[in-house]
Structure 1
């Protein structure tokens, strides 16, 4: 937690009012996302109790698993709804022309987006995906193929949720917390009811803190799942389960209807809160970098559909070492790029980075627009320089590349850092975006006295070269060792 975040959290706690942490929304929100919340039973980790989902806030679909017996019909209904939503994103595509690194290809114009009420639901969907995608497909069993396909898509979506900046599967508290800071702890912020009470309290509430206290009251609070509280299990679920087990026929059907009504009443408040949160976030202006990240999301979705059409095998339960290294490399790059783009788009993010020494800002004091130097081939290159005076802590080293919010395509290199009495002088050289000596781009030159903020520039990403499977040691998923194990023969000789 940075110094600025701590200050805003203390201010919210003292005033009882939420503090803004961002002016822009940094994740794309679909016009028609799929809202999904789930409740699970005690016992097997992936056994569902109920799922409420849909794209219409006024017409949620409730799927309830029977207290005993097969849950296959419920899973088939869940698969049909979820896959129908995913298939709707494949109705239209666009043509992407060939580039120097990629051939011409098609890409879908949309991608699925699922919004869930908390991070625990993401973990539950991951467990459910692991359970479903390895199930056998039997053409004589209706729905077995769609159930396995649901497991595949749940695994894909939960994998995408680990990538910073991805908008495929979003826990609502995390997205809300990116834009508002409350006076409660980060753990308490994971509760959607209290978090929304801070952000948008009712009119009769004295403050966001008072509204959150009421929302957290035992009588009114409804956990967002997937786990249910013990009192609800003991007092309401258990009697219905026992009645269902003792009865048959119409009495059992009536008990199941009563269970459906109970769970609908239990889940409806959280369903309304999720759409309320969506409305608040949809009202925020979208950051510039959001469109580019959503393009990557659509590309990943298109590639996954291609994989299903050409191969379709379920992903392994445990990744090989090389696959894990590739995934971690992509996650690290996505985190760096997401942080850099947020800083370039949002003044609030830049202010927070300035408190940690990861960025600095100040007025331009001197400019040397005619500076040139000889390049590697001996060609003269235009490299204008200027100096910035800052009172911020500068925890950077000469040679580091920086970006500035005024010219997103330009790059600046630190040439020198000179501490002074009350400030620090940072000499910068423009290394990209300024054109050439013959055709200079003078627009990138700052005016004397202009206040600029510089943040770390995202490095040019190139996927590291990883070894093929046949070149990987057998201890890390490669082929088995060539030599035979003679340990038994050696032990007999020793005896």
Structure 2
């Protein structure tokens, strides 16, 4: 946690009101997201007890598993709802967006997706292919969630926590009920702290899933399951008990459903950051590629990720994290202020300018490379040669030449490397005026995806085929490009 984040958390704890951590919203928010709440049966595996989902805040769909027997009907209904939503997005040219309450729900969907996509599709079993396809899409959503800056699957606690800081601990911020209460307390409460205390009342608090609370299990769910077992043993009609189960789960999940839409409304009030549009385009491209792959091929990804697939995933994730951090800083003054406290950005007035400086490029052509010096009292941990950006000229790029520390300040000598145009047609707008106050942050890196070997070219020690084995092409590696 940075110094500024610690200060804001301390201030929030002192005043009882959440503090803004960002001025802009840095993830795209769909006009029609698919909200989803999952509750799991007792046990370590992803075996849904109930799923509440939908795109209409006033008409959620509830799918429940039977007391005993297979949960195939629940999964088939869930597959139908999710697939219908995805097809609607495809027809309208938008990428789907799935919003869940917390990070635990993301992991749960990842485990569920792995289980479902590896199930054998059987034409004799109704819904089996749709359920397998659901597993593939859940894996796609959870894979995208691991890439910073993407918006295919977002836990709302993390989304809110990116933009507001409360007076409770980061672990407590994983509870959607208290987090929303801190950010937007009801009118009858005096502060966010008081609202969060009321939200934690055991009599009314409901966990947002996927695990259920012990009190709910012991006092409400287990007695209903026991009554069902007795009715089944006696040969009695079980329909009233199933209706009672649906009513119980609806009452249990409805508060979380309402808070999710409350969180959505809060996030909509924040203006969207400019660079979000670029990431939104990438999201649509990734979705189109995945949809085309399912249409043309559709092989399931293996249960275990091999070495090449891991390398591909890291090669995508790490540059995305760097680019997302740089774009947030370029867009948002609050983010730049936080980076100044960590030495990853600096600001100060321009003291000297060498406006006519030129140098010869690799071809011998004369290049215009203006230089200037900035005086700053911020800690500067950026090394010479590091490419920088400034929010005043988003298309310009700067390079640190030298960093000189004095008793009173730090002098950073900079050179403009991009955005100023050729000597024949110079763009003088990028030249700062003497005394101008500028803020510099890391520039987004231009990353090119390296070449990786195919499965047939990979040694068996790293997940390739055994010696003498001919690849039959029945499985897709998680690193393969759709």
Question: Shorter-chain TM-score: which interval?
Answer: over 0.9
Any idea what SS the aligned residue of 1:178 has? helix
Any idea what SS the aligned residue of 2:237 has? helix
2:339 corresponds in structure 1 to 353
* TM-score of the two chains, using structure 1 as the length reference: 0.93
- Superposed counterparts of 1:177-188, under 5 Å: 177-188=161-172
Whether the 8 Å CA contact 2:206–2:213 is kept in 1: the answer is: no
1:269-290 C-alpha deviation (Å, 9 max, x unpaired): 0000000000010111000011
Moved more, 270-279 or 463-472: 463-472
Distance 1:332 1:69 in 2: 44
1:167-210 C-alpha deviation (Å, 9 max, x unpaired): 00000010001110001000000100000110001111111111
Q: Which sections of structure 2, spanning at least 5 residues, go unmatched?
A: 470-482
1:371-411 C-alpha deviation (Å, 9 max, x unpaired): 00011111100000111110000112211111111111111
- Superposed counterparts of 1:327-476, under 5 Å: 327-476=313-462
1:39-78 C-alpha deviation (Å, 9 max, x unpaired): 0001351111000000000000111101101211111111
- Superposed counterparts of 1:205-216, under 5 Å: 205-216=189-200
Any idea what SS the aligned residue of 1:328 has? helix
* TM-score of the two chains, using structure 2 as the length reference: 0.95
The reply on whether 1:141 has 2:122 as its aligned counterpart is no
Moved more, 469-478 or 284-293: 469-478
1:307 corresponds in structure 2 to 293
1:262 corresponds in structure 2 to 248
Indicate which of 130, 133, 137 corresponds to 2:114: 130
2:476 corresponds in structure 1 to none
How far 1:482 sits from its partner (Å)?
A: 6.8
The reply on whether 1:79 has 2:65 as its aligned counterpart is no
Distance 1:19 1:412 in 2: 33
1:223-247 C-alpha deviation (Å, 9 max, x unpaired): 0000001111111111111111221
Any idea what SS the aligned residue of 1:83 has? helix
CA RMSD of aligned residues (A): 1.3
The reply on whether 1:319 has 2:305 as its aligned counterpart is yes
1:80-111 C-alpha deviation (Å, 9 max, x unpaired): 0110000101114xxxxxxxxxxxxxxxx201
Aligned pair count? 467
1:315-352 C-alpha deviation (Å, 9 max, x unpaired): 11112211110111100010000000000000000000
2:91 corresponds in structure 1 to 91
Any idea what SS the aligned residue of 1:247 has? helix
Q: Which runs of 4+ in 1 moved over 6 A?
A: none
Whether the 8 Å CA contact 2:402–2:413 is kept in 1: the answer is: yes
Q: Which sections of structure 1, spanning at least 5 residues, go unmatched?
A: 93-108, 484-495
Any idea what SS the aligned residue of 1:301 has? helix
How far 1:250 sits from its partner (Å)?
A: 6.3
2:58 corresponds in structure 1 to 58
- Superposed counterparts of 1:135-174, under 5 Å: 135-174=119-158
Distance 2:236 2:4 in 1: 62
- Describe the shift of the 1:253–1:336 C-alpha distance in structure 2 as closer, same or farther (beyond 3 A): same
Any idea what SS the aligned residue of 2:416 has? strand
The reply on whether 1:239 has 2:214 as its aligned counterpart is no
Distance 1:419 1:32 in 2: 52
